Structure 1
Amino acid sequence: MDLFPEIPLSQWRDSKETLHRFAQIVGKIRLASSVRRNHWWNVAFHVTGRGVTARPMGGVDGNPVFTIDFDFVDHWLTVSCLDGSTTSFPLLGQSVASFHREVFAALRRIGVSVTLPHPHPYKLPDAHRPFAEDTEHASYDPEWVNRHWQVLSQVNLLLEEFASGFSGKVSPVHLFWHSYDLAVTRFSDRSVELGAEVDPVTREAYSREVISCGFWFGDDDHPRPAFYSYAAPEPAGLAGQPLRPAPAHWVEQGTGRLATLDYDDVRAAVDPRETVLGFYGSLYGSAAALAGWDVEHLASPGGITDPLARGDA
């Protein structure tokens, strides 16, 4: 299997739009049923050997402990309970409305009761429409959905490798369902004051200085899959710093900028893995230096902080 197989957005856009809404439904169940963690770490999904998982939840809200798992090999959604009970239904042939209905029916079958405060898409063009009424999004091409999971699996391991070089506070490598991007974030210990006019999701996500790296499959604004990195708040002068490799470029994003590297440029590189790691490293190095992070102290080459194991002592 190729490292980073072809995944042009144009070939699976309709399936991606449907899958994104499936993920948001499950993500909102996760949000309603999990203990809150700093920076919303509790809401994200993790990549598995067959798809993605919402991870165990419940247990503290009167519900049993349960999980919801997407299987992108056989294309089923499975809801499982800690007592061993399980129930599944096929992903193929579902609209968003029927998926919404089937998920909540599955939860009821294993004794779980969840109410979503706002059962609508989050920050998508049809945010006004309840999931239960969306029969428009009903495309699901199993070949491309499986391919997207292959890409997620490979990028997941690459982000794990990048994360290993940092000994400070760092997030898991996780899939955020609101924008459907896979990311890992490094944190400093400095607080960021955001005003009351900033929405609560953003205030929690960026309450500390961060440098984040990730990957997304593309959308209407950026219609190509790409690797990305950014710093928040963005240090003065960051956009003037060189990026590696040469095809990497800056993209305006709200009040800041994203450093991006198109997926197809990586696929064409002699060493795609080192190309992406070099891209992430170039942004991190510049942003951390400009923000005054103690880069040497925070480093853990090869994932090792023990000076004896590193040969430093």
Structure 2
Amino acid sequence: MELFPAMPLAEWQDTKATVHRFCQVVGKVRLACGVRRNHWWNAPFHLTGRGLTTRPMGQSDGNPIFTIDFDFVAHRLIVTTLDGRTVSFALYGRSVASFYHETMGALAALDVRVDLPVPHPFDLPDADRPFADDTEHAAYDPAMVTRYWQVLSQVNLVLEEFAAGYSGKISPVHHFWHTFDIACTRFSDRLIEQPPEADPVTREAYSREVISSGFWFGDDAFPEAAFYSYTAPEPAGLVEEPLRPGAARWIEQRGGHLAVLPYAAARSEADPRAAVLDFYESAYQAGARRAGWDIGRLACPGGVTDPLLDAGT
């Protein structure tokens, strides 16, 4: 199929709002039942051949081992335990409240006990409203949801290709349910002292110096899909660095700056995949230069670090 098909926010904004909250319900189950990892790597979803997965969880908390999968081809949520038991239900035709009750019921039917400490949205306009009370968000366009998964899958592989060129500590490519973006992050070993007022999520996510690369579908603040990159903490002079291709630019975002390449601009390039990889590389080089990273030592072109293989012997 077409690489990077059209994904205008206006055509699925209501559906996106619903699916985002569906993902937050399941994401909070993942957060409650998974083993904690550094920088919250335990929390995000991963792509599958039909949608998204939490990956297996349970066991250490006394629950059976279980997995929750979004099937965005058949449009069902599927909860499966290690012994083969499965409960599933349709994603379309229901509100967030209905989805929440069905998800909790499916878990209970499989003897999974989950107590969500904060069962309402994170960092969304209705963050004070419990999932169980949200009958407002119920839009679900199956065609656009399938396309959302298809775009995620394509971007996932571009990010995997970009990630291969770095030999240092780097996150998996994963889909964050709280911000609804897909990203991978390169780390230096430089410890960053967060201010005392920083929230626990921020403190853990940015306890080390990072350069993150990703993609999001747009929101009210930036109403178009875009590829992005940022360096945290932001080094002085970052926005003076050049970006590629020509449509890429620096924008102000939450007190800092993001490098962005609009999705529509990438689609118009003669080779969209190469353009996105070039964008990520230019943004990484900008941040790494300004932050003083040893770019040459951390590089591994083609995913190869062995000097004999690298030499072609």
* TM-score of the superposed pair, with normalisation by structure 2: 0.99
Q: Partners in 2 of 1:172 and 1:10 — Cα distance?
A: 30
Q: Which residue number corresponds to residue 244 of structure 1?
A: 244
Query: What root-mean-square deviation, in Å, do the aligned CA atoms of Structure 1 and Structure 2 show?
Result: 0.8
Q: Partners in 2 of 1:10 and 1:46 — Cα distance?
A: 26
Q: Which residue number corresponds to residue 14 of structure 1?
A: 14
In structure 1, the residue corresponding to 2:12 is in which secondary structure? Answer: helix
In structure 2, the residue corresponding to 1:83 is in which secondary structure? Answer: coil
Q: Which residue number corresponds to residue 171 of structure 1?
A: 171
Q: Which residue number corresponds to residue 33 of structure 2?
A: 33
Q: Which residue number corresponds to residue 82 of structure 1?
A: 82
Q: Which residue number corresponds to residue 311 of structure 1?
A: 311
Q: Partners in 2 of 1:211 and 1:28 — Cα distance?
A: 26
CA offsets per residue over residues 167-204 of structure 1, 9 Å max, x none? Answer: 00000000000010000000000000001101110010
State the 1:312 CA deviation: 7.4
Q: Which residue number corresponds to residue 195 of structure 2?
A: 195
Q: Partners in 1 of 2:240 and 2:25 — Cα distance?
A: 40
Unaligned ranges ≥5, structure 2: none
2:273 pairs with 1:262: no
Q: Which residue number corresponds to residue 285 of structure 2?
A: 285
Q: Partners in 1 of 2:153 and 2:279 — Cα distance?
A: 19
State the one-letter code of the partner of 1:182: I
Aligned length: 313
Q: Which residue number corresponds to residue 139 of structure 2?
A: 139
Q: Partners in 1 of 2:5 and 2:63 — Cα distance?
A: 41
CA offsets per residue over residues 69-113 of structure 1, 9 Å max, x none? Answer: 000000000000011111100001110000000000000111101
Structure 1 stretches of 4+ moved >2 Å: none
2:48 pairs with 1:48: yes
In structure 1, the residue corresponding to 2:210 is in which secondary structure? Answer: strand
CA offsets per residue over residues 238-269 of structure 1, 9 Å max, x none? Answer: 01111111111112111211111100000000
State the one-letter code of the partner of 2:21: R
Unaligned ranges ≥5, structure 1: none
Kindly report which structure 2 residues correspond to 1:61-76, keeping only aligned pairs within 5 A, or say none: 61-76=61-76
Q: Partners in 2 of 1:149 and 1:39 — Cα distance?
A: 25
Identity, in percent, stands at 64
Q: Which residue number corresponds to residue 116 of structure 2?
A: 116
Kindly report which structure 2 residues correspond to 1:177-256, keeping only aligned pairs within 5 A, or say none: 177-256=177-256
Q: Which residue number corresponds to residue 57 of structure 1?
A: 57
State the one-letter code of the partner of 1:71: D
State the one-letter code of the partner of 2:232: A
CA offsets per residue over residues 99-132 of structure 1, 9 Å max, x none? Answer: 0000000001111010100101000000010000
State the one-letter code of the partner of 1:36: R
Q: Partners in 2 of 1:312 and 1:237 — Cα distance?
A: 39
CA offsets per residue over residues 14-71 of structure 1, 9 Å max, x none? Answer: 0000000000000000000011100000000001000000111111111011000000
Q: Partners in 2 of 1:255 and 1:203 — Cα distance?
A: 17
State the 1:282 CA deviation: 0.4
State the one-letter code of the partner of 1:157: L
Q: Partners in 1 of 2:3 and 2:128 — Cα distance?
A: 39
State the one-letter code of the partner of 1:174: H
State the one-letter code of the partner of 2:118: H
Q: Partners in 1 of 2:195 and 2:272 — Cα distance?
A: 41
Q: Partners in 2 of 1:255 and 1:209 — Cα distance?
A: 17
Q: Partners in 2 of 1:134 and 1:6 — Cα distance?
A: 30
State the 1:286 CA deviation: 1.4
Higher alpha-carbon deviation: 283-292 or 136-145: 283-292
State the one-letter code of the partner of 2:59: G
Q: Partners in 1 of 2:123 and 2:231 — Cα distance?
A: 22
Q: Partners in 2 of 1:207 and 1:117 — Cα distance?
A: 24
Q: Partners in 1 of 2:224 and 2:195 — Cα distance?
A: 33
In structure 2, the residue corresponding to 1:88 is in which secondary structure? Answer: strand
In structure 2, the residue corresponding to 1:210 is in which secondary structure? Answer: strand
